[in-house]
A and B are shown apart, each in its own frame.
Chain A
Amino acid sequence: MTSSRPDPAPRLELLHISKRYPGVLANDDVSLLVRPGEIHAVLGENGAGKSTLMKIIYGAVQADQGEILWNGRQVQIGNPAAARQLGIGMVFQHFQLFETLSVVENIALALEGKFDLRALASRVREVSAKYGLPLEPERLVHSLSVGERQRVEIVRCLLQNPQLLILDEPTSVLTPQAVRSLFATLRQLASEGVSILYISHKLHEIQELCERATVMQGGRVTGEADPRQESTASLARMMIGRELPVCSATPYEGERIPVLELRGLSYANDDPFGASLHEIDLIVDRGEVVGIAGISGNGQAELLAALSGEVPSAASCVLIDGQAVGHLHAGERRDRGLAFVPEERLGRGAVPAMSLAQNFTLTAHRQRELRRHGLINLAGARQWAARCIERFDVRCAGPQAAARSLSGGNLQKFIVGREIMQAPKVMIVAQPTWGVDVGAAAFLRQTLLDLARSGVAVLVISEELEELFEICDRIAVLAAGRLSLPVPKEDTDAEKIGLLMAGTQQQAA
């Protein structure tokens, strides 16, 4: 039936789009074509220019050059409201929701027309039932899980009857099961004629869902393909110019001795937007990498703060080398051999405006004689920072470079390097490769593996399941503030871990 009709105008066509930021060409002569009802992937690694391109389509950013055709007509999209007017909806990677407002208030903010929350609530129920996106309109967003928040974003778009829906890395916070139900919703939308632009760096998802893919690298389009016809290797070559690097892990030969122990660690959070921890037990041995999977917001931040000593607990809840350290603060725990790489590199792992030398002092002042008689030894810090830069291949202007002038990957290498140079017994790393390019990510993973095999106990908390399966020996899941028993990765798979991530009912059963 559809084939008998003349080919309709493309839903969206981008012609020669360029966008320059100070110091970077984020988009360089990018062209793209999306047909009605098509699920179209934009594939590329971090920093390839995908997000900038989407913001241009959504009117949040203006292109310096190029044209946008919408249903065959040239348009200027000056702001997000204009984009919505045309029928473009966007689901953001970092949800653009208001925590203290209810679901229906959040949705009302994006809609025009009469301000009637009660009528809107019933429309929200209708749409969410139709597309299998269950939501309670009256609930406050801060009480929702990450998956539910994404539903709010999607429903918010759907209520505007979009002709094009943009999803930016939508699966990074979902369990494998939730990803399947999202894909079902997207296919249903596509069958109704809605075009979908699907931004991702995950090759297998794109192969499963999308009919066409535009591949970007360094701000340019490096290829177009039907991902179902391509192999993972050929897509990877288009994306990064080579095959995806893999880590090599040798088995640990040394003696297995517990180094880090958690015994019944609980934490009642008095922050209304935070999570609490319940009776967490965990042992990490020398020489192994233990991974904690789970979606952020399930107690990850609280567990990390309790491990690092930023929020001390009862003494006997945390042990290093069999000694109770739960009552010690972060600095004192470093003296006992603990090192920690937090998720937030700028502002926590490093002070943005300070030089790398000064940032080296941040945690190294205890071990490295960078503090004497209450005075600071900056010359020493410069030397150590220079050594760290060289040993961990940190690309920067030198020890005097401000932390914020480094790219995410290089700053992460510096922080990981700084912590390794403290010769730790335990290394705790949160989201080791979040927002890092493929090359640096592989380097970091290999570094952590090598560190473990040199006799250090390594604990990794990550949202990326593939990453955990690549480097960990055992994997546990943190969900709703409870930690499951760690199991050897050979005895589990993404499916089982996903069930644990979704909640605690399965555990209880």
Chain B
Amino acid sequence: MQLIEPRANPSRTMRWLAPPLAILLTLLVAAGIFALLGKPPLQAFYVFFIEPLETSNGWSELLLKASPLILIAQGLALGFRARIYNIGAEGQLLLGAICASGVAIYTDGMEGAWILPAMVLAGAVGGGLWGAIPAWLRTRFQAQETLTTLMLAYVATYLLSWLVSGPWRDPSGTNFPQSILFAEPAMFTPLFEGLRINASVYIAAALVPVFWLFVAKSFMAYQLAVGGEAPAAARYAGFSANRTVWVSLVISGAAAGIAGAAEAAGPVGQLTLSLSPGYGYAAIIVAWVGRLHPLGIVLAGLLMALIYLGGEAAQVSMQLPAAISWLFQGMLLFFLLGADAFVDFRLRQRKEVTA
């Protein structure tokens, strides 16, 4: 019945081999699916993973998609280390976008270099507050953050939907549920002529080393890890469990909020219903695939961005639904979790049959 048994010591090899292995298995299954649909797998892989990177526009889009994923995943990974499962980063991202857009909308027509930083700050505050609610509910009432963060993500979606179809709808526009287009002071400047890539990617680039330093060197990160691995040991050491919850949820909320602000003020340029293609959920997978390690997350974020781009390309050139990228994301996480089991466990050794 039982397949596995504990290893005497966890395998370091498996720890780093698991993500590439999971990617490989996902690709194999994907090839099977493509073949089943009558699309030659190699061509499909080409469309999915190579074609998007053949143009400078492709690279621009890759970095644009990777930076929110990386930023959100860095925050989530902190919490995951402490076994605080914030799965509602999507909601925190939307709140960040909403708050940043509020600044943009109410300062429309004004000039000033302070507008953009104010938007990013508003995004961080909005996301942080949206993360603080489940933190309060957990520390005050012991309500599980898994469910509350997710429910708040739905609430954020409806809040956004109300704002863009009600109070903040572009009065001069058609009846589409979207806000006005932001003015220039409320937008990140493009880095290259003709490409969408803009200065918002610097935010993620600047924050990665900060997260790395925090995780590798800070006493707070050590406390988070102890709290996650052994909550009783954290209590024994006198680490505050409530602080762990607050730090995890507020930091990850603020990171997601900044990502949302950067989306609104960057590639999107207004507040719309389709502001995020599920970055908040995909970032959960990015965090796991990146081993909760700041540098691993950068690689995983780039990979996930490529899956997004490939999904869009496949939609156009192969008539596959864009949701196929969710399918691959789910499989990737399945395979990763499965491969991860072999870090601490190994296949049960067959017993010698005695005569």
Residue positions of A touching B, CB distance < 8 A: 22-23, 62, 64-66, 308-310, 329-334, 340, 342, 344, 346-354, 358, 361-363, 365, 371, 374-376, 402, 405
Contacts and interface: CB of A to CB of B under 8 A. Distances in A.
B7 A64 contact: no
A22 B238 contact: no
A342 B234 CA distance: 13
Interface stretch (B198-206, B222-230, B244-252): B222-230
Interface in B194-234: 217-222, 225-226, 229-230, 232-233
Contacts of B9: 402, 405
A361 B222 contact: yes
A396 to B, nearest CB: 12
A353 B229 contact: yes
A310 B222 contact: no
A330 B230 CA distance: 16
Contacts of B352: 64
A31 B235 CA distance: 47
Q: Which of B8, B233, B235 is the most central at the interface, judged by chain A CB atoms within 10 Å of its CB?
A: B233
Contacts of A329: 238, 240
Interface in B172-209: none
A374 B216 CA distance: 12
Given A310-B235, A331-B239, A348-B235, 20 more contacts: A22-B6, A64-B351, A66-B354, A309-B238, A310-B236, A330-B237, A334-B238, A340-B236, A347-B230, A348-B233, A349-B236, A350-B230, A350-B233, A352-B229, A362-B236, A362-B237, A365-B219, A374-B220, A405-B8, A405-B9
Q: Which of B219, B226, B229, B352 is the most central at the interface, judged by chain A CB atoms within 10 Å of its CB?
A: B219
Given A22-B8, A62-B351, A374 B218 contact: yes
A28 to B, nearest CB: 15
Contact of A362 (B7, B233, B351): B233
B111 interface: no
Contacts of B218: 374-376
Interface string B1-40: 0000111111000000000000000000000000000000
Interface of B: 5-10, 217-222, 225-226, 229-230, 232-233, 235-240, 351-352, 354
A365 B219 CA distance: 9
A64 B354 CA distance: 7
Nearest to A359: B233
B37 to A, nearest CB: 43
23 contacts: A22-B7, A22-B8, A64-B352, A64-B354, A66-B354, A310-B235, A329-B240, A340-B236, A347-B230, A348-B230, A348-B235, A348-B236, A349-B236, A350-B230, A352-B229, A354-B226, A354-B229, A362-B226, A363-B236, A363-B237, A376-B219, A376-B221, A405-B8
Contacts of B230: 346-348, 350-352
A347 B233 contact: yes
Contact of A347 (B10, B221, B232): B232
Nearest to B216: A376
A332 B240 CA distance: 12
Q: Which of B7, B8, B217, B235 is the most central at the interface, judged by chain A CB atoms within 10 Å of its CB?
A: B235
Nearest to A328: B238
Contacts of A405: 8-9
A436 B232 CA distance: 22
Given A362-B226, A365-B219, A376-B222, A344 B239 contact: no
Nearest to B229: A351
In order of increasing CB-CB distance, the 9 nearest A-B pairs are: A331-B238, A330-B238, A348-B232, A351-B230, A347-B230, A310-B235, A362-B237, A371-B219, A351-B229
Contacts of A333: 238
Contacts of A330: 235-238
B68 to A, nearest CB: 28
Nearest to A63: B354
Contacts of A351: 225-226, 229-230, 233
Given A365-B219, A376-B219, A331 B8 contact: no
A361 B222 CA distance: 9
B221 to A, nearest CB: 8
Contacts of A66: 354
Contacts of B219: 365, 371, 374-376
B11 to A, nearest CB: 12
Contacts of B233: 347-351, 362
Given A348-B232, A354-B229, A23 B237 contact: no
B223 to A, nearest CB: 10
A377 to B, nearest CB: 9
Contacts of B226: 351, 354, 362
A349 B240 CA distance: 16
Contacts of B237: 330-331, 362-363
A353 B233 CA distance: 12
Nearest to A308: B236
B293 to A, nearest CB: 15
Contacts of A347: 230, 232-233
A304 B11 CA distance: 36
Contact of B10 (A62, A346, A353, A376): A353
Contacts of A22: 5-8
A342 B80 CA distance: 27
Nearest to A364: B237
A371 B225 CA distance: 16
Contacts of B238: 309, 329-334
A310 B238 CA distance: 7
Contacts of B7: 22
A37 B6 CA distance: 40
Nearest to B226: A351
